[in-house]
Structure 1
Amino acid sequence: MTDPNLYLTMASAALVGLAMLTFAALTGWRGWLQLKAQELHAAGDIAADRTVSHSVPSASARIEIADLKERIRKLEAIAAGVDL
């Protein structure tokens, strides 16, 4: 059992196994990074499309949004039980 070849064989097999696991993990990591890069690129394209078509809101749209925000504030106050 003190054969040096046995220890050398076991160590080299463990090293090869570790290298295979490391390579598989690295390949998976690169694939995941590529997936996230594609998702960010697609989200950037969607955001760019939105900004191009709706770059400046009209005055009536801003007034309507302000009115909706005020209504939401009042409804939240009512829900919290605060008298206005």
Structure 2
Amino acid sequence: MMTDPTLVIAATCLVGLIVVAFALLRGWQGWLAYKREALDRLQRGAGHGEIEGGAAVGAARIELADMKERIKKLEAIASGVEL
């Protein structure tokens, strides 16, 4: 019994497409699980102070203060005041 080459190629492409779709679905589910865990960690860490692991909050405050200082310097330059 001879099989048509077009049928074999179509079946192979269909199987390959199913494998790729399954791999992408598994990757998507893994990425969603990773993001859920990250959100859970963020929510658990939100109640802690800076000493107990909220170092990111302290770093953000320092960065914000640095940006405010830069803005003051730029405003002084724009108005012609020498610092």
Do they superpose with TM above 0.5? yes
Amino acid of the residue matched to residue 38 of structure 1? A
Match of 1:53 among 29, 45, 48: 48
Q: CA RMSD in A?
A: 3.2
Farther off after superposition, 27-36 or 45-54: 45-54
2:31 match: 36
Compared CA separation, residues 17 and 81, structure 1 to 2 (3 A) = farther
Count of matched residue positions in the alignment of Structure 1 and Structure 2: 68
1:72 matched to 2:62: no
* Paired residue secondary structure (1:53): coil
**TM-score if structure 2 supplies the norm length?**
0.58
Bigger share in helix: 1
Report Cα offsets for 1:4-51 as digits up to 9, x if no partner. Answer: x87x61121011111111111111111111121111111111111122
Q: Give the gaps of 5 or more residues in structure 1.
A: 55-64
Task: Classify 1:38/1:78 alpha carbon distance in 2 versus 1 (closer, same or farther; 3 Å).
Answer: same
Larger Rg: 1
In structure 2, runs of 5+ residues without a counterpart are 50-60
Q: Compute the TM-score of the two structures, normalised by the length of structure 1.
A: 0.57
Q: Encode CA deviations 1:24-82: one digit per residue, 9 max, x unaligned.
A: 1111111111121111111111111122335xxxxxxxxxx5x9745532234436872
Aligned partner of 2:21 in structure 1 is 26
